[in-house]
Structure 1
Amino acid sequence: MSSAGRGSMLAQPLQRPSAGRIAAYVGLFVLGAVVGLAGSLVQAGWFPGGLLLALVGAAGLFLGGARAVGGRAGAVAPAVGWVITVIGLSTGRPEGDFLFGAGGGSYLFLLGGMALAVICATLAPGRQPGGDAARLAK
């Protein structure tokens, strides 16, 4: 039976992701955390070029993850790792130590990275159902 006869993709039963897909999501999550850590260090060191480099690197990872996995979840997984890492690094410690300065570049990095994560997850192609292409008047 073709996919056109079974109804829309939303009406299909939910399938469990394969072990390889889960491993890809975990790997993208860890890569997002690494890019967030590296961007946190670079953005203040070489301002404004470091800020642009950090944001372009994050956007590349988000879009690359979506293309590699073939769906929006490929952009969301590294974005979640990036956001958790950057927010965790932006909080102050009881000893008074902190990684981010109080300048505008830190806020641009934090808010710009979050905006890029949303944009990349929105623009990423959604997963398409397999099977023959269905066309009207066929």
Structure 2
Amino acid sequence: MSGRTRPASSVLAQPLRPPSLGRAALYLALFVLGAATGVAGALLQPAWFPGGLLLALAAEAGLCLGAGRATGRRGGAVAPAAGWALAVVLLTTSRPEGDFLFAAGSGSYLFLLGGIAVAVMCATLAPVRQPGGGTARLRK
């Protein structure tokens, strides 16, 4: 057993810390940007049915995947996805006057379910925190 062993205080053994003020502000800005993307997509997708739907879903995918890659963490992809989901869910509720934004057509359902699927895929593809250390494999 002639190999280096990890110290007990490895990166994964350390407790999680709350995010810094700058990172929290970044996540809040990404959340608001995701909400704005959700509202814009909800208005765009019924306008030009197949093209608007694809454009709205591509905008969400670009925002979530780009934010995850830019921050280097999965939280960067989850923050705009959560903002998108909250905005879209709030837009689906009808008002007491009977006004609503989403029609009962296939495009609206594809936008809702497709947006959720895109958010899950982007959050899954986002980079995760890796333990520090060398790039060599550990031996048993």
Q: Give the TM-score normalised by the residue count of structure 1.
A: 0.89
Query: Counterpart of 1:38?
Result: 40
Query: Counterpart of 1:87?
Result: 89
- The 1-side partners of 2:133 and 2:12 are apart by 15
Question: Taking every aligned residue pair, what percent have the same amino acid on both sides?
Answer: 66
Q: Which runs of 5+ in 2 are unaligned?
A: 1-5
Question: How far off is 1:8 after superposition?
Answer: 4.8
The one-letter amino acid paired with 1:100 is: F
Query: Counterpart of 1:119?
Result: 121
Query: Counterpart of 2:65?
Result: 63
Contact 1:28 1:65 in 2 (8 A): yes
- The 2-side partners of 1:6 and 1:31 are apart by 40
Question: How far off is 1:124 after superposition?
Answer: 1.0
Task: Output one character per residue of 1:79-137: Cα deviation in whole Å (capped at 9) or x when no partner.
Answer: 11000000110111110101111110000000000011111101111022445445435
- The 2-side partners of 1:49 and 1:83 are apart by 21
The one-letter amino acid paired with 1:35 is: T
Query: Counterpart of 1:10?
Result: 12
The CA RMSD over aligned residues, in Å, is 1.8
Contact 2:33 2:80 in 1 (8 A): yes
Contact 1:44 1:106 in 2 (8 A): yes
SS in 2 for 1:121: helix
Question: How far off is 1:17 after superposition?
Answer: 1.4
Give the number of equivalent residue pairs. 135
Contact 2:12 2:131 in 1 (8 A): no
Larger radius of gyration: 2
Question: How far off is 1:32 after superposition?
Answer: 0.3
Query: Counterpart of 1:52?
Result: 54
Query: Counterpart of 2:27?
Result: 25
The structure 1 segments of at least 4 consecutive aligned residues displaced by more than 6 Å after TM superposition are none
Contact 1:24 1:69 in 2 (8 A): no
